[in-house]
Structure formats: C-alpha cells, structure tokens
Chain A
C-alpha cells in the first residue's frame, strides 16, 4: 500500500505540471519511437533477405552472364573468352566435385501464343536437371529429357502461371502452342513455387547486376537447350547461355564448391569477368554482417537519443527537487527516511520515462506501419524490439533519476524546512 501511495503521489505531482512533464519526456518518446521503428525496418529487411535467399536455395550456386560494353567485348575477344557457355557447365561438372545437378539456361525473348491468347513469358532453353536445381517438381506430364535435346524436339514445359494463362480449364498436355514462329508440343507443367514480391515483378529475363532475385519459375516456358540454340543462334561454335544453375549435394560443401567454381571459371574465361557467381549462402552471411553493422549504428543512434532524452529528464527533475525543497523538509520532519525521499523522486522519474517509453513504443509501431504502407518496405515489429525499448526507457529513468533523487534524499531536513 505504501508503494502505491508513493506512486500515486508521484503521478499527482507530475500532473500538477502537465506541460512540463510532457515536454520533458519528448526526448525519450522520440528516442524510443526511433528505436522501435528502426528495429522493425531492420527485422523486415532481414526477413525479406532471408526469404529470398532461401528461395534461391542455400544449396544452390547461380552463375549469371553479364552484359558487356563494347570495349569489354573487345577485351574479351582478345583474351579468347566467349562468354558464359554450355561448355562451361559441362567442364564444371567434370572438374568440380560435389555438384549434384547443373543446368544452363538460355533465355530468348519471343512471343508465345495459344489460340488467341498471348503471353510475354520468357522462353528458356535448358536441360533435364533444371527442376532438380531449383527444387521444383513436375506437376503434370514430364520435363525435358536428354532425348528431347538430342533430337531437337519441339516440346515445351510450362510454368504454373503460364499454364494457367493459356489453359484456364482444360489440360495443357498434348496441346500445341506457338513460340515465335514454331509450334511446340506441351509435355509438362511445373508445380507452382512460392516467390517473393520482387521476383514476381521481374517479368522478363533482364535483371540488375548483383540482384539476388531468383527467376520467377512460375512464369517461364521451358524448351530443350538445343532447340533454343536453333531459334536464336549465337556467334561462334559455343552455345552462349544466360545462366547456369548448380545444386551442391551437401550444404556444408557449398562454400568450398563455390571457391572451386570461381577458380575454374577464371581459368576458362582467361580472367575476363563476363559472369557473376551468386552464392546464396555467401549472401546470407553478408546480409547477416550488414545486419550487424546496421544494428550497431542503430544502437549508437538510439543510445545518443536516449542519452539526450535522459539528460533532459534529469534536468527537469533536478529543478523539481530544488523547487520542492520545502516539501522534502516537511516529509522528513513527518518521518520520511532518506530512502523514502530517494524512492519518491526515483519513482517520479521512472513514471516519466516509462510513460515516455510506452508512448514511444506506440509511436514507433505506428511509424513502422506508416513506413510499410507508404514506402512499401516490409517492417516487422518484433517482441524483442518492444522489450528492448521498454528496458531502455526504464534504465534511462533509473540512471538519470538517481542523481536528482539522491540530491533530494541528502538534504538536511532543518535547512529544507527553512527554505521558502
């Protein structure tokens, strides 16, 4: 009951100076709000990156062909590199251990039509390993086989979304669709695979350099690699490809294999950087270390804002203590011990910072929500963020409340009673 009385008296004293109390906690409010909002942005970014990396497959390594500038092409020719080719893929299988599946992709931009329906779905030439590389199974029919490739068969396998566009009702198997100027027999449909918002937006094969967004497998039309070469011939004898997907059999060998692949490709391409290697595991590590840096910067900013907030509150409380010297004297005369006085002013500071913390958390949650709506960043208000924010506001209260409370408790009751 005593504690409640003291807390109640604290609320009463604070309510006496409403404007002052509100102004004094603004620093804490914004500090805590910033912490909550930024932690939410960080958590959202982390989850998004994690999802994308998981979608790429942590067992996977992807090699992209890079578009070269005119001068780079000259340089490449001089060094006898013919870009990323199907030969690279076959050499990698021969030399690098641990590769379970490998599939080169050749992306050709041709129109596809079925009856009166048209689609801009990318047409991708590949090999039988591709579903295994991307860990997707065939929903209906079958995937491209070695025989299809050897015999240059005009067959195609549809991604789930494409299949839906062309064949909303009946089964696509056995139907003939037109890709560019040729007719292809639909032999299979792939299972639908979850994709992130970003890769859903990637409609064609183009992608920004360094992007870790995986292909939207649901929106591709797959044909035998050999056929795609016939449709879109490349200069020279090599089969130029846009991408090589690789799946490593053991998760803990991925980094090792990636290093070997890098070495092999450097040699095969005579040190010309006309490709990039994306290792999701590596990206995961990078994103984790970026996250760590982000957290440190965030922590520093939050610390500084809470520090200034705390100093503001301490200032107000010091003023309050000297303003209420007489009250302290009275309470001491009536039997309050030094600890009672210390407790009273500490409670008042704590009430201020905790109130500031609560308002700050609410404001932070609102801020995170607003950022999500208007900036379309994913924000996740985690329980941890709220706990951290609450703890910090309480710690600030204790830390910065201690000096004013100590000053109050140390007063000589006789001198305090004489104070006017």
Chain B
C-alpha cells in the first residue's frame, strides 16, 4: 500500500505577532498541519522550528512540556472537562506546568485569564450551565493561562452563531493586538478576514499564502 501523505512540500515561516488563517477544504491537510504546529504530532520528514529551536525530534514528554508552556489550544467543540467548573477548567494547564506555583499566584493567573475574556461572573459554574459562547471564552482563558507564544484555534466559531462567533473572533483579535501570535484554522471566509495573513491549502500543499 502506498503511503498517504496528508501534507507534502509545505514550507512557511510565521513571524511573532502574526494573525494567520489557515484555510482549505476538508481533507486538505489543515488538521494535520494544526497538529504539527501544536506539537501533538510530528512530521514524518522535514522539520519544525518553534521559537528558533528544532522540536521535530523531541520526546513525548518534551512535546508535552512545550504544549503546556508555549501553546494555547482553542477547539471547535470547546473541549472543556465537564466535571470541573470554570476556574478549575482554566486551572488545568497550571497543574501540568513544571514551574511550580503556589496556590495564590495560580489563582491570580486564572482570574486574570478569565477577566481577559470578559467572563467574571460565572466562576463556579459547570460547562453544562454555560452557553456556547461562554464555553469558548473559558477555553480561550484556559489557552491563555500559561501565557503561551501561540494561540492555535481550530474552527473556534464552528459551533457558534455568527454574532457570538464575531465576539470570539474579537477576543482573538484583541489577543493578537497585544502581540500574541494567533493561528486560526477555518473554512469560513468571514473568520479568515480577521487575519492579516491567509494560507490556503489544497491536497496537502500550500495553494496561496497572502498577506493583507
């Protein structure tokens, strides 16, 4: 059986502080690219430099640490842990942070992240008691709590109505304005319009790489 490559001949550089939209039809390799950028997967060949260091050959444990310290994930289906309340969900990345924190400063970080997404009032609520937009805000707060280099958002507005979707994109844009690198995977042109650079994929290769 011939090997199937989800991605091939892909090469691009992301500058610090960019807001990039990765677009493409399903099967174009968006998700695989996202997984590699998020250090959840490794390329079979080629290399990935994150913050000027090659992370291609790192061990599972080292990748876990990078995910924890450098990358904040935002998913289409929010992916909150349903038995934990808002604060506890935001706290999860802190638990796995190797730099030990005491309880108070951990709490401060959580509250700061929650404030940044404008969700001060529902700290003790469970995800099931929140609306989709609120859940996605919690997810963004969780992505922010370890102060990462990159926010990776995979169809962040896919499950939301357009108004709420706009609000979420507004938050992501705001984070980008503060200097954080944001990469959004989407097939929605309206979502992509927030970005200042768009990479379009087709059959595992880059079709268009355009800056606005």
Contacts and interface: CB of A to CB of B under 8 A. Distances in A.
A2 B83 contact: no
A335 B40 contact: no
Q: Is the interface of A mostly helix, strand, loop or mixed?
A: helix
Given A1-B103, A16-B83, A417-B79, A334 B61 contact: no
A16 B81 CA distance: 13
Contacts of A5: 91, 95
A251 interface: no
A337 interface: yes
Interface string A306-331: 00000000000000000000110111
A176 interface: no
Interface string B94-131: 01110011110010000000000000000000000000
Nearest to B61: A337
Of A16, A332, A339, chain B has the most CB atoms within 10 Å of the CB of A332
A413 interface: yes
A46 interface: no
A330 B79 contact: yes
A339 B81 contact: no
B38 interface: yes
Contacts of A340: 64, 96
B57 to A, nearest CB: 17
Nearest to A12: B83
Interface in B65-99: 65, 67-69, 73, 75, 79-81, 83-84, 88, 91-93, 95-97
Interface in A325-354: 326-327, 329-340
B35 A335 contact: no
A249 to B, nearest CB: 71
B30 interface: no
Given A333-B67, A417-B79, A1 B93 contact: no
Q: Which of B38, B79, B88, B101 has the most CB of A within 10 A?
A: B79
A335 B69 contact: yes
Nearest to A8: B88
B167 interface: no
The 7 closest A-B pairs by CB, nearest first: A335-B68, A335-B96, A337-B64, A334-B93, A335-B67, A5-B95, A330-B79
16 contacts: A1-B100, A2-B95, A2-B96, A2-B100, A327-B81, A330-B92, A331-B96, A332-B64, A333-B40, A333-B73, A334-B68, A334-B96, A336-B68, A337-B61, A338-B61, A340-B96
